Amino acid sequence: MIEITDHAGRKHFVASAHISDIREIELATGVGIRSHVRLTDGRVIQARDEASMLASAIFNEQKRTDR
């Protein structure tokens, strides 16, 4: 599971298999949105987390489960 913090500060725990796309936002918005995370069901989480940090978390989770 990957922890994603949304624009309101709520934490979401999402299986990496359910994440279809992570997009970095060029300029952080006034509410702290740094990336958009699209899930396989089409929902989008406007995240406070940086895209590169989320991608690293997914990579590390996949590495851990491949053992």
Residues 6 or more apart from 62 whose CB is under 8 A from it? 16
Give the dihedral of Cα atoms 49, 26, 46, 66; nearest 10 deg. Answer: -50
pLDDT category at 64 given cuts 50, 70, 90 is confident
Residue whose tokens read 């979401």: 12
| Each residue's pLDDT tens digit, 6-58 | 999 999 999 999 999 999 998 756 668 999 999 999 999 999 999 999 999 99
Residue 28 pLDDT:
59
Domains of the chain, by residue range, sit at: 2-65
